[in-house]
Amino acid sequence: MDDLLSEFLTETNESLQLLDTELVKLEQNPNSPALLDNIFRVMHTIKGTCGFLDLPRLESVAHAGENVLGKIREGELTVNATRVSLILECLDRIRYILATLEETEAEPEGQDTDLIPRLENLVEVAEGAEPVEDAAALDEQEPDWGSALAESEEAEPELGGPESGEPEPDWQEAARAPQPGEPGGIDAPAVSQSLPAAARSREVDVEQASQCPPCAPHAAPSGGAQEGAFHPNAQEAPRESQVASQSIRVSLDLLENLMTTVSELVLNRNQLLQILRNQKETDFAAPLQRLNHVVSELQEGVMKTRMQPIGNAWSKLPRIVRDLSQELNKKIDLRMRGEETELDRQVLDLIKDPLTHMVRNSADHGLETPAERLAAGKPEVGTISVHAYHEGGHIIIEIGDDGRGLNVEKIKAKAISNGLTTESEIGNLSEQQILQFVFKAGFSTADQVTAVSGRGVGMDVVRSNIEQIGGTIELASRMMEGTKFTVKIPLTLAIVSALIVECGGERFAIPQLSVVELVRAKGGSENAIEWIKDTPVLRLRDRLLPLVNLRELLRLEPPEDDGVTALLEDAKGAAKGEGGAAKAADGDPDHADTKGFIVVSQVGTYTFGIIVDQVFDTEEIVVKPVAKILRNIPLFSGNTILGDGRVVMILDPNGVASSSGDITLAESEDAVSDKQRQSAGDEERVAMLIFRAVSKAPKAVPLALVARLEEIDMKDVEFSNGQRVVQYRGHLTPLIQMEGAADLPEEGKRPVLVFTDRERSMGLVVDEIVDIVEAPMNIELAGERSGLLGSAVIAERATDIIDAGHYLTQAFADWFHAEDRHADKTSTGKRVLLIDDSPFFRNLLAPLLGVAGYDVTPVDSADRALELCDAGESFDVIVSDIEMPGMSGYELAETLRNKSRWSRTPLIALSSHASPKDMERGRAAGFRDYVAKFDRETLLDTLHDMLHDDPNETRGAA
């Protein structure tokens, strides 16, 4: 292709992208002269160059568009959506012609009689200065297109004529136009989109002048000479020529070649360094170190030339969103942040489409119509935000909307009907896991999805595209609040950091990006491999990690001295017989210790372990594609040459994961990050105080129950009324020990947990305070012994949760009346709302009721309870305190009686005043029953009776 033409095509395509963005901006700020000037100038440049290259069809289209823009600039036409649409249509036509030009080097056949007359009509409207709304005008004039067509054909020869006279006045004007904030330097040949259009179009022209002599006659008058002649501000001219000389166009092929060469150099450098490491004293050391630095700098520099701002990938988004908002009748505000974030152009090309797709999805399915939004109490204009930033060698791109979110129920139904899962399985899946179904192939056709979840058109493709480049995609969605996709991609594909491992005598590289952690598997230690039938698994903290034996997967021969096999055999033995455990533990410790590592890897949301023999260090490797005949092995993503010169295969964690089982659905809740886990709500974390008393086994009590931690000297302990007491702040505080504890010594300090409620406090003497941890308090084994609520796993250890209430009654006989005896534990799943302003009681009663099988939601005020009511929660029974700051229990009861939603939910009053008069008042207010605050047994009995005698009146929100 003609150099001149190809240059023109590149430039014009860039200009068009810019125009798209600018036009949308113009639509939002119709009165910005700076914007208009930019747009006009770009369009004019296109037209001018067309004339020079003899492209009549393109020129006539650009000319018509330019005329309209000219009228708008002169204030004879106002900006509105229809007009902008028409200009955009004009741009699309230019694009179409350019595309054909690129393919055939000739303009496509045909006329633009459908477009040009409409543009000309607009101009006529302006010239006629008739204040006619142009949409109407267009409609009226539609029948006249025939005549307009004739006119345009007449006009054609004129247009084809020399343009030379015309650009001059325009360029004068352009040169005089104010250009605020023009940057002084441009660093990349592919000019960033964020640069002001003025600087850009200028650069394009000057560049042409300096680079392609044939166009100098044209460009010189318009760009260089004129500027000097007409520009009153002489300072600006040299600065601009500087800009031009600072950037050159370099072909991509050249850059790619350069990159490959540098890659080779990096490999050679690595090899030299490897040799250097083995040679203690050599004269090469110093020069090699310098070489090392230079190569690193060179590598960095060359990588930079490949970097492009991510804004290039999403410069089309404003246009797409604008078109969609018109098409769908939605109001959409597109917010883009971090356009300047740079990444490798190879990566950029690959994420362009997935990005566009996700934004389109958000606009199409995520956001509601303005009416729906208003009805939901949201602003009429929906927001789609795209945000890119760097984070530790990766680019994070977040695409979010504030739309309706994904409908979990519909996804469930769809997943079941598609056969992706079954009813019984889906019950065990967390919401996060269910959301993962949108990445499944079955969710990909538009029809189904719009009907089902309103989301997920081709999300499987988006996901696989992103995973192809070693990236990950995560999804978070909340009903009515919106959806957010988080994409994490590597900065570059060419050089990656990889972990070198060995298995079956062969070395492999695993991209560091997907490696989460390394675990050394030891027989008999905490990190032993265990077996479920023939499937190896590893207990890793609080989860079960599926393992993949790389040797089996790759069908490698076991080497003679085989650590892993021995290790696995040991583990098998341990699982099978009692003797095996002992053998594994003390049999051959060296054997198990020296070998066997687990590379914990993450693919998407799926975490699994790869069993390898050895782990070496990490190396920067240059990824090279494997030979064609090996491409069908999914386990390898490429190969590379290591520092010592040997070739290793690069394992593809995606391939490893999918060859080892069906993982497209993230089966693991491990994927749900801790943050999400916390926000999930059903596993609320409670701060627990862990201590030791009586035995070595850890014990815990909710920290909120503990008022203070004290160290009390046993010398200060006195006896009163047969009980140990200590004087503390003028009060006598009874001291209690846990049952079965050894007698307290006469002297020495001991830690004491002080429980306080109102004016009373008591101390529980313990042996040692261990820690405070945040953990979900899932009491798994309800305690039969008095003083224990049960056991829970806290900080990976079985921990007894002590029942503070039990000890309180020991200190004050009247603190609670009854002995601790748990009532019916079978009535699981009933939801109880507990309202009490005292954190002490909330913390005391919530676990108590929890153990009894109720699902307790504690809140601290009547107002909070009403909020829950409004939020659509429903409960089987409400237990409320009477004396509370703000709204009292009586008032709450009355309010609830009048609310439709909870009017039928039984209410139980909880009060320290249990006189018959109080009870009467409570009944009048609507409480079904009245229980003394300390009478836990009665409370449990009452709850039990109420929920079982009255099956018809359980759920209030029926």
Partner 1 sequence: MSEGRSLTKFSGGQLVAATQGTQDYVTFMIAKQLFGIPVLQVQDVLAGGNITCIPLAPKEVAGVLNLRGRIVTAIDVRLRLGLASRKRSDDDMSIVVEQGGELYSLRVDEVGEVLNLDPTAFGRNPPTLDPKFREFSAGIYRLKERLLVVLDVDRLLDYKGTQAA
Region for 661 from its dihedrals, namely left if φ exceeds 0, alpha if ψ lies in -120 to 50, beta otherwise: left
Q: Per rule CB under 8 A, is residue 629 in the interface with partner 1?
A: yes
Stretch that binds partner 1, among 71-79, 205-213, 388-396, 643-651 (CB under 8 A): 643-651
- Determine the 3-state secondary structure of 126 from DSSP: helix
| Stretch touching partner 1 by CB under 8 A, among 3-11, 74-82, 548-556, 575-583 | 548-556
Residue with smaller CB distance to partner 1, 234 or 629: 629
Q: Does 621 bind partner 1 (CB under 8 A)?
A: no
Residue 554 lies near partner 1 (rule: CB under 8 A): yes
- Is residue 958 a contact residue for partner 1 (CB under 8 A)? no
Least distance (Å) from partner 1 to the CB of residue 645? 4
Distance CA 488, CA 649 (A): 24
- Closer residue to partner 1 (CB): 442 or 505: 505
480 is an interface residue for partner 1 by CB under 8 A: no
Min dist CB 299 to partner 1, Å, is 15
The CB-of-646 to partner 1 minimum distance in angstroms stands at 5
Beginning with the edge strand found earlier in the chain, give each strand of the sheet holding 332-337 in spatial order: 332-337, 382-391, 394-401, 482-490, 472-478
Query: How crowded is residue 220: how many other Cβ atoms within 10 Å of its Cβ?
Result: 15
H or E stretch covering 225: none
**647 binding partner 1? (CB under 8 A):** yes
Query: Could you tell me the smallest distance in angstroms from the CB atom of residue 504 to partner 1?
Result: 8
**Which tokens go with 799?**
């921990």
From CA 525, how far away is CA 272, in angstroms rounded? 40
Q: Rule CB under 8 A: say whether 630 interacts with partner 1.
A: yes
221 vs 655, beta carbon nearer partner 1? 655
Q: Does 639 bind partner 1 (CB under 8 A)?
A: yes
Judging by beta carbons within 10 Å of its beta carbon (0-12, 13-18, 19+), is residue 118 exposed, middle or buried? buried
Name the DSSP letter for residue 494: S
Q: Which of 393, 645, 661, 740 binds partner 1 (CB under 8 A)?
A: 645
CB-nearer residue toward partner 1: 469 or 626: 626
Nearer to partner 1, 303 or 556 (CB): 556
Stretch that binds partner 1, among 471-479, 619-627, 720-728, 915-923 (CB under 8 A): 619-627
In three-state secondary structure terms, 951 is helix
**Binding of residue 649 to partner 1 (CB under 8 A):** yes
Considering beta carbons, is residue 635 or 946 the nearer one to partner 1? 635
In sequence order, what DSSP letters do the residues of 244-276 get, joined into one string? HHH-----HHHHHHHHHHHHHHHHHHHHHHHHH
Residues 500-529 close enough to bind partner 1 by CB under 8 A:
504, 506-507
Q: CA-to-CA distance for 519 and 540, rounded, in angstroms?
A: 9
Q: Give least dist CB 644 to partner 1, A.
A: 7
Strand pairing category for 929-932 and 907-911? parallel
555 binds partner 1 (CB under 8 A): yes
Cβ proximity to partner 1, 115 vs 554, nearer residue: 554
In terms of CB distance, is 268 or 448 closer to partner 1?
Answer: 268
Least separation in angstroms between residue 561's CB and partner 1 is 19
* 380 lies in the binding site for partner 1 (CB under 8 A): no
Question: Phi, psi at residue 646, to the nearest 5°?
Answer: -85, 155
- Between the alpha carbon of residue 118 and those of residues 30, 59, 126, 323, 929, the distances in Å are 21, 16, 13, 20, 79
Residue 774 binding partner 1, by CB under 8 A: no
Task: Pick one of 627, 742, 813, 871: the residue that binds partner 1 (CB under 8 A).
Answer: 627
Q: Kindly state the smallest distance separating residue 624's Cβ from partner 1, in Å.
A: 5
Residue 648: CB minimum distance to partner 1, A: 6
Asked if 541 is part of the footprint of partner 1 (rule: CB under 8 A), the reply reads: no
- Rounded to an integer, what distance in angstroms lies between the CA atom of residue 439 and that of residue 452? 14
Least Å from the CB of residue 642 to partner 1:
9
What is the Cα 116 distance to its own chain's centre?
Answer: 46
CA dihedral for 128, 134, 137, 142, sign (positive or negative): positive
**Smaller CB separation from partner 1, 629 or 742:** 629
Does residue number 353 form part of the binding site for partner 1 (CB under 8 A)? no
Sheet holding 515-520, edge to edge: 515-520, 597-603, 606-612, 543-549, 535-540, 529-532
Q: Pick between residue 167 and residue 638 the one whose CB is nearest to partner 1.
A: 638
User: Is 628 near partner 1 (CB under 8 A)?
Assistant: yes
Q: How far is the CB of 17 from partner 1 (least distance, A)?
A: 33
Nearer to partner 1, 108 or 505 (CB): 505
641 binds partner 1 (CB under 8 A): yes
Residue with smaller CB distance to partner 1, 633 or 770: 633
Asked if 234 is part of the footprint of partner 1 (rule: CB under 8 A), the reply reads no
Query: Residue 319 and residue 25: Cα distance in Å, rounded?
Result: 10
Query: Rounded distance, CA 532 to CA 159, Å?
Result: 81
Q: Contacts with partner 1 in 896-925 (CB under 8 A)? A: none
Shortest Å distance, C-beta 124 to partner 1: 59
Beta strands in 394-441 (DSSP E): 394-401
Helix (H) or strand (E) holding 33: helix 33-53
Rounded to a whole number of angstroms, the minimum distance from the CB of residue 496 to partner 1 is 16
Nearer to partner 1, 284 or 389 (CB): 284
Residue 79 beta carbon to partner 1: minimum distance, rounded to whole angstroms: 53
DSSP string, 344-404: EHHHHHHHHHHHHHHHHHIIIIISPPHHHHHHTT--SSEEEEEEEEEETTEEEEEEEE-S-
- State which of positions 89-128 bind partner 1 (CB under 8 A): none
The one segment of 138-146, 629-637, 808-816, 867-875 that binds partner 1 by CB under 8 A: 629-637
Question: Binding of partner 1 at residue 586 (CB under 8 A)?
Answer: no
Q: Read off φ and ψ for residue 800, nearest 5 degrees.
A: -80, 130
**Phi and psi at residue 752, to the nearest 5°:** -135, 130
**Cα-based distances in Å from 91 to 17, 86, 97, 231:** 9, 9, 10, 30
Contacts of 819 (CB under 8 A, 6+ apart): 786, 809, 937
Intra-chain end-to-end CA distance of the chain, in Å: 74
Smaller CB separation from partner 1, 248 or 252: 252
Token pair in block for residue 286: 């110093």
Kindly tell me which residue out of 204, 513, 540, 635 binds partner 1, with binding defined by CB under 8 A. 635
The distance of closest approach from Cβ of residue 619 to partner 1 in the complex, given in angstroms and rounded to an integer, is 15
Counted residue by residue, the chain has a size of: 958
Other beta carbons less than 10 A from residue 555's beta carbon? 7
Contact characters 245-284, partner 1, x per CB under 8 A:
-------------------x--xx----------------
If one asks whether residue 636 binds partner 1 (CB under 8 A), the answer comes out as yes
| Residues near partner 1 (CB under 8 A), total | 27
Tell me the helices (H) and strands (E) count for the chain, helix number first.
35, 35
Binder among 648, 657, 762, 835 for partner 1 (CB under 8 A): 648
Stretch that binds partner 1, among 226-234, 375-383, 552-560, 835-843 (CB under 8 A): 552-560
| Residue 646 within binding range of partner 1, rule CB under 8 A | yes
CA diameter of the chain: 117
User: Counting contacts by CB under 8 A, is residue 705 touching partner 1?
Assistant: no
Residues at the site binding partner 1, with contacts judged by CB under 8 A: 264, 267-268, 504, 506-507, 554-556, 624, 626-630, 633, 635-636, 639-641, 644-649
